Structure 1
Amino acid sequence: MDAHLPTVSNEDRSSHVIGSAVILIILPTVTVILRLLSRYMSKAGFWIDDYTVILSLIISWAPNIVNLLAVKQGFGKHVNALPATSVFHWFKYLYAFELLYTMGMASVKYSVLCFMYRIFPIVQFRRILMASLVFVTALTVACVFVSIFQCVPIHKFWDTLGGELAPQLGGRCIDVQKYFLVGGSINTITDFALLAMPIPILWRLRTGKPQKLLLTGIFTVGLIVCAVSVVRLTILAGVDQSDVTWNYVPAATWSAAEPSVAVVSACLPSLRPLFVRLIWGGTHRPKPVAPPRRTVASWRSKSVGGGGTQGSFNRLHELPSDEAQPPWRQNNVSVMGGKRDEEYEANDEVPWNRIRADTEVVLTISDRVDWKDDLF
């Protein structure tokens, strides 16, 4: 910890920490309020995804609040300008920061999965969403477990300055920086997967191409979260542990930004009804393109007495009563359908003057979703 320390120790990045934390608290808060207002204006009601995004908002505040509290312990200053007690306290805040970051990202993923479950009523896709929910839960539990027990006993995390002094002071600690990189990489891959999942469904909506492009653009705004995650990993990989309270400022800022930006991205699709009503006043909104109607084959029927009209059948002329009966009247044919006639069992032969009609009902589930303007 004492090697390569800067000669000038009066530099201070605390204003950067405070400014970024305040912005990252206000921005998602305003976005969630607008989302709830949009849902209220569209009269769509509130569902699980709305409640989980509120939970995500509250948890996203926590890493930023931890950064603000850490400023009092010298976060943003060089480590050689701080007393040893302040450094130990800062590692306690870092320990809490890790847990809150993990839970914040997990809660946002839950909200996104619930949102897609609500708007895409496709059985196969919902099964994929449920499997994704199980995977996110398992990943979160594993990350929380590792974060809690990254040092054994737990207090050795801050007593040994994140494991740096574990060989001298005792205790067993994992390589914290490698854990950050591995866990962050899995989280980034998961973000990209969640972003790509709804795209094929959007392009199967029964609506016009402009609406499909608009919705695709709204959903792909989540690329911002992926970009933040990639930048965070890059910065974490280059953190110099020799002056951790100074060098960790950019990494902590980007780590706190990821759950906050994720909350904003999760809310953007739900803001569409609000913006539509503000722009078009709720009365002249763009109408979806009606799906093409199936063409019905036309036919020309000819009656006994003359030509028929296209697209319809003509009534046959009745024969005089003194003439011979037509074949379909001579045989007294009856048709059995629907429920099986109790007079005949399944293996009985059908009499020559009867017809047995078996009824078969086929239930099909469409993988296409109708356009609903206030769906989100």
Structure 2
Amino acid sequence: MGAKRGLWWDDLFILLAFMFAVGFGAVVNVAMGHYGWDRHIWNIPLDVLSTSVKAYLAAKILFIVSGTCVRMALLLFYLWLIKDVAEKGLRRIIYVVMGLNAALCLVAVLVSIFRCRPIHAAWTTIGDNSQCFSEGVSITTIGALLTVMDFVVNILPLPIVARLNVVFRQRLAATVLLSLGTIATAAGIVREVYVYRAFLGTKDSTWGALPLWICADVEIYVGLTRSYAPAFRRCAPYGQQ
């Protein structure tokens, strides 16, 4: 298999991931500066509280979708690495993980949007007819599943790297690049700790959530860096069986 190629589907998902990541960063920064995310929740002015909750929902969805696109780009890249060799078992596993990744994204986004009935009950007080389930339980569960998915995507390429027919320096570069996934997964685990503390361990969700936004930034941008995989595309052909 030749090492060089033109644009492929993973490049599209990298672009999408980057766009959603920029949107995520923009929403968080604006909310920090204007909608009270940098203060205790009881100090947020009532006239911006509704907008603050909307910004939180937007940031949550943008983070979920961006991370999904990063994982999809990596999985597609794994498929490209083994496209000319007899790796049917690994290929099937990658396809299954791709399906689970897409399904998790869809479920997480739908749960985030439809957590309350009616939807706008999440950011407005409308009376006794509204029903909402716990945001703490929701975001903690979603975050845990996303971190597990990151871990799965992180370990999938290990057999691929083991069979790369390259010199030691190239193999080392490939291993280091893949190791960035460990940093992203670790950031996800730390993020999950702060998610639990902010939404289940305290009533002060805005102030308690400050560290989790930092972890989310690390997770998403390290994942993006890893998905570029520039060193892999200059590697020699994949080892033949």
Corresponding residue of 1:315: none
The normalised TM-score by structure 2 is 0.85
Name the % identity: 25
Query: Structure 2 CA distance, aligned partners of 1:156 and 1:241?
Result: 22
What is the rounded CA distance, in whole Å, between the counterparts of 1:53 and 1:243 in structure 2?
35
Q: Residue 150 in 1 paired to residue 150 in 2?
A: no
After TM superposition, give the deviation of residue 154 of structure 1 in Å: 0.5
Report what 2:37 is aligned to. Answer: 75
The reply to whether residue 119 of structure 1 matches residue 88 of structure 2 is: no
Pairing 1:147-226 to 2, within 5 Å after superposition: 147-160=112-125, 170-208=129-167, 211-226=170-185
Partner Cα distance (1:273, 1:47) in 2? 12
Aligned pairs (5 A) from 1:23-102: 44-70=5-31, 71-102=33-64
Higher relative contact order at CA 8 Å, sep ≥6: structure 1 or structure 2? 2
Does the C-alpha gap of structure 1 residues 252 and 205 become closer, same or farther in structure 2, counting only changes over 3 Å? Answer: closer
Cα deviation for residue 57 of structure 1 reads 0.5
Structure 1 moving runs of 4+ over 6 Å? none
Cα deviation digits, residues 165-206 of structure 1 (max 9, x gap): x9x754111111111111111111111111111112221233
Q: Does 1:370 align with 2:224?
A: no
The answer for unaligned runs of 5 or more in structure 2 is none
Deviation at 1:109, TM superposition (A): 1.0
| Cα distance change, pair 126–86 in 1 and its aligned pair in 2 (3 A) | same
TM-score in terms of structure 1 length: 0.56
Say whether the 8 Å CA contact 1:143–1:183 is kept in structure 2: yes
Q: Provide the C-alpha distance between the structure 2 equivalents of 1:135 and 1:197, rounded to a whole number of angstroms.
A: 14
Aligned partner of 1:266 in structure 2 is: 227
Contact 2:116 2:133 in 1 (8 A): yes
Distance 2:148 2:167 in 1: 31
User: How far is the alpha carbon of 1:61 from its aligned partner?
Assistant: 1.0
In the alignment, the residues of structure 1 paired with residue 36 and residue 227 of structure 2 have an alpha-carbon distance, to the nearest angstrom, of: 34
Contact conserved, 2:27 with 2:55, CA < 8 A, in 1? yes
Residue 209 of structure 1, CA deviation: 5.0
The C-alpha deviation readout for 1:278-329, integer Å capped at 9, x for no partner, is xxxxxxxxxx8xxxxxxxxxxxxxxxxxxxxxxxxxxxxxxxxxxxxxxxxx
Pick from 242, 245, 254: which aligns with 2:203? 242
2:67 to 105, 108, 111: 105
Distance 1:151-1:272 versus aligned 2 partners, 3 A rule = same
> AA paired with 2:153?
L
SS in 1 for 2:190: helix
Alignment gaps of 5+ in structure 1: 1-41, 161-165, 277-287, 289-367, 372-376
Q: C-alpha separation between the residues in 2 aligned to 1:65 and 1:210?
A: 38
1:222–1:266 CA contact under 8 A, matched in 2:
no
Larger displacement relative to structure 2 (244-253 or 49-58): 244-253
C-alpha offsets along residues 112-165 of structure 1, whole Å, 9 cap, x if unaligned?
1111111122333222211111111111111111111011111111125xxxxx
Quote the residue 1:326 is aligned against.
Answer: none
Residue type of the alignment partner of 1:235:
Y
- In 1, the alpha carbon distance for the partners of 2:42 and 2:12 equals 45
Change (3 A) 1:80 1:135: closer
- How well do the aligned residues superpose, as a CA RMSD in angstroms? 2.5
After superposition, the Cα gap between the structure-2 partners of 1:125 and 1:68, relative to the gap in structure 1 and judged at 3 Å, is same
Can you list the C-alpha shifts for 1:214-234, whole angstroms capped at 9, x where unaligned?
422321221011011011001
Q: Kindly indicate which of the two structures has a greater share of residues assigned to helix.
A: 2
Matched, 1:136 2:101: yes
Determine the C-alpha separation between the residues in 2 that align with 1:270 and 1:260. 15
Task: Answer whether contact 1:181 1:236 (CA < 8 A) is retained.
Answer: yes
Q: Specify the structure having the higher radius of gyration (Cα).
A: 1
**Does the aligned pair in 1 maintain the 2:180–2:222 contact within 8 Å?**
no
Amino acid aligned to 2:14: V
* Maintained 8 Å contact 2:10/2:74: yes
CA distance in 1, matches of 2:220, 2:152: 17
